[in-house]
Structure 1
Amino acid sequence: MDNRTGILLKQAGGYKAFIPEPLPPDPPLVFDEELQSLLSKADRALARLDGITTVLPNPDLFIAMYVKKEALLSSQIEGTQASLEGVLEFEANLTPKEDINEIKEVVNYIKALNHGIERLKEFPMSLRLIKEIHKILIEGTRGTHKNPGEFRTSQNWIGPAGAPLSDAVFVPPPPDMVLTAMGDFEKFLHGEDKNPPLIRIALIHAQFETIHPFLDGNGRIGRLLITFYLFWKEILSKPLLYLSFYLKKNRAEYYDLLMKVRTERDWESWVKFF
């Protein structure tokens, strides 16, 4: 039970980094009555959501605007201050009043999402696709010097803005373990187990955020993976489900439960929240 989610391993620099166990969890998730009820409700809600696209007169126009809103919210979680008005002005080749770099981050998110959906019509999810998406997301923005499209080769950490490694709240695996961790991650993406797709995507999102394989953009990529996975598995025929509004509204609980996975081996509370 001790290693259900991973272990803290002391590094040469004196700090401890978290090394995640490959998915799925072992021992397996406990499917109690509450989790089964939540899963059933989520399945029904997704079926209704997917059905909306069959009755909309112009679903692609609706989805295009919905994607813009999601791009804004997902970027705002990371501190971007762009507005929908600024994005629309930029797309119309007008000069926006807001910081052009922040608007580019939102526009890149839209491009990354659209690129991913088009690729998934022909190819499965893969580390190669995740890298492609990351490159589109980051290039030409404030993170452009942080190896767009490549897994990190240096240690990163999560903590207050500007905090040193010694004050980190969480330290992901060291760079020499990232490729192994992401290789295991890809195996789970393509593998099969008894967990239904909605449970699997909850595990996938948390595992990706725990590995934190890029120097920048991990949060946004992790949220994009939710949409990509549901589209790839044909649970949604159109990219209509976006969780950024919910995650932004419940940000503290979101981060707390991710940490409980790592520190208390508590997958169940995370999955129920997700």
Structure 2
Amino acid sequence: MQESRSGHFVHQKGGYNAFIPRSLPPDPPIVYDETLQYLLSEADRALARLDGMAVTLPNPDLFIAMYMKKEALLSSQIEGTEASLKGVLEFEANLKPTENINDLREVVNYLRAMDSGLERLKSAPISLDLVRDIHCILIKGTRGSDREPGNFRTVQNYIARSGATSIRDAVFVPPPPERVEALMKDLEAFILAKGSVPPLIKIALIHAQFETIHPFLDGNGRMGRLLITFYLCWKGILAKPLLYLSIYFKRHREEYYRTLNEVWTDGAWEAWLRFFLQGVIEVSNESIASAREIIQLKDGVVDTLLKHEIGGANAVKLVYALFDEPIITTREAAEVLGVSGPTAYQLIGRLEDIGILKEITGGRRYKKYMFADYVSIIERGTRPGPGN
């Protein structure tokens, strides 16, 4: 069939057309018109502001840990899970889950996969071995665990439209399985190659190519989104893993799939790059705004403690601990502060009275309390559903 700038469709014996992508970078090369140049400049600036904002937070690592939870949640929601941030926090706090345990496990696996990948990238480059190992962590023990975790597929897969029952009704059919290994090696070579392609352009191309190859039987979307964070941190574009585009992809799901489809059918790389860069700008600015809210929340909470003459240094120390673990028990508070149980119980009671903490276990024994104002900032846009 006719070759486009991005690849070509090949008719298969089963009566469907599978897409074979061309090597990156695109040829003819990307056309950097005025709009694309502007978006690239704005995206670079927004990302730099986000990276710089982290140092002004009460504890940047704690902020990042919560944002990683948000990304894990949203990336899993795109694939159909119904977990919430509150549910994930309760699961981590060893509360009896009120949500689907399989959904929660998928989110927790995503967090483990991200942690493992970022740790490995401190001493090694992105590689196919890393991709396979991270995919195994991502999928193992979940509903996709019977679909060869960590192994490139050996059968044909496809992206189905709603109600489709046959591959011939698919929205998109990735390359045949016998082509996957070579295509992934080709993508690895592009990732590792030195050159003049701007980093944000390069990771946009990498993400699209990975989704085009669809090398695994399950988890391709989540793995492809993880690659964005991995690449930006590995290349030093971000000192901390702060940019997560799942909220943008979820919010603009139809446009996400449409622009990818136009890459496959028309070689419309520039349209995809404009969409991707707009996401970097949008998400960076929203994350900066959230970081500022957290700083204001910290200052406001400390002012509230002073106003009510609560607890001195111990109260401030406990509040700072809540930015790390926003669900806490009296015993945990006592351990954090190095005080007796009754002292911690009294302090938590005062924080509950003035609205800093909210009891979430229904008045039972072994009560747990949530730092609700902090959680509400992080959880924006994470309600299950297509555009929430």
TM-score category of the 2 structures, normalised to the smaller one? over 0.9
- For the residue of structure 2 that corresponds to 1:223, the secondary structure is helix
Counterpart in 2 of 1:221? 223
How far apart are 1:195 and its partner, in Å?
Answer: 1.5
1:70 corresponds to which letter in structure 2? E
Confirm or deny: 8 A CA contact 2:23 2:186 kept in the other structure. Answer: yes
In structure 1, distance between residues paired with 2:226 and 2:51: 18
Counterpart in 2 of 1:238? 240
Q: Which runs of 5+ in 2 are unaligned?
A: 277-388
Instruction: Trace 1:68-217 onto structure 2 (pairs within 5 A).
Output: 68-161=69-162, 163-217=165-219
1:30 corresponds to which letter in structure 2? V
Counterpart in 2 of 1:59? 60
In structure 1, distance between residues paired with 2:239 and 2:258: 32
- For the residue of structure 1 that corresponds to 2:71, the secondary structure is helix
Counterpart in 2 of 1:249? 251
How many aligned positions are there? 274
In structure 1, distance between residues paired with 2:87 and 2:252: 26
- Once the two structures are superposed, residues 3-56 of structure 1 have per-residue CA deviations (whole angstroms, 9 ceiling, x without a partner) of 310011112222210000010000000000110000000000111111112222
How far apart are 1:95 and its partner, in Å?
Answer: 1.3
- For the residue of structure 2 that corresponds to 1:53, the secondary structure is helix
In structure 2, distance between residues paired with 1:52 and 1:114: 22
1:138 corresponds to which letter in structure 2? I
1:167 corresponds to which letter in structure 2? D
In structure 2, distance between residues paired with 1:30 and 1:50: 28
Once structures 1 and 2 are overlaid, which stretch shifts more, 89-98 or 133-142?
89-98
In structure 1, distance between residues paired with 2:173 and 2:87: 35
- For the residue of structure 1 that corresponds to 2:63, the secondary structure is helix
2:153 corresponds to which letter in structure 1? R
Q: 1:233 to 1:182 in 2, by over 3 A?
A: same
2:167 corresponds to which letter in structure 1? L
Structural RMSD (CA): 1.1
- For the residue of structure 1 that corresponds to 2:57, the secondary structure is coil
In structure 1, distance between residues paired with 2:165 and 2:261: 18
Once structures 1 and 2 are overlaid, which stretch shifts more, 98-107 or 88-97?
88-97
In structure 2, distance between residues paired with 1:36 and 1:109: 33
Counterpart in 1 of 2:365? none
- For the residue of structure 2 that corresponds to 1:134, the secondary structure is helix
- For the residue of structure 1 that corresponds to 2:56, the secondary structure is coil
How far apart are 1:88 and its partner, in Å?
Answer: 1.3
How far apart are 1:159 and its partner, in Å?
Answer: 1.3
Once structures 1 and 2 are overlaid, which stretch shifts more, 54-63 or 114-123?
54-63
How far apart are 1:192 and its partner, in Å?
Answer: 2.3
How far apart are 1:268 and its partner, in Å?
Answer: 0.5
**Which of these residues, 239, 262, 265, is aligned with residue 264 of structure 2?**
262
- For the residue of structure 1 that corresponds to 2:8, the secondary structure is strand
Q: Which runs of 5+ in 1 are unaligned?
A: none
- For the residue of structure 2 that corresponds to 1:54, the secondary structure is helix
In structure 2, distance between residues paired with 1:6 and 1:183: 17
Provide TM-score, normalisation by structure 1: 0.98
In structure 1, distance between residues paired with 2:120 and 2:195: 25
Counterpart in 2 of 1:9? 10
2:108 corresponds to which letter in structure 1? V
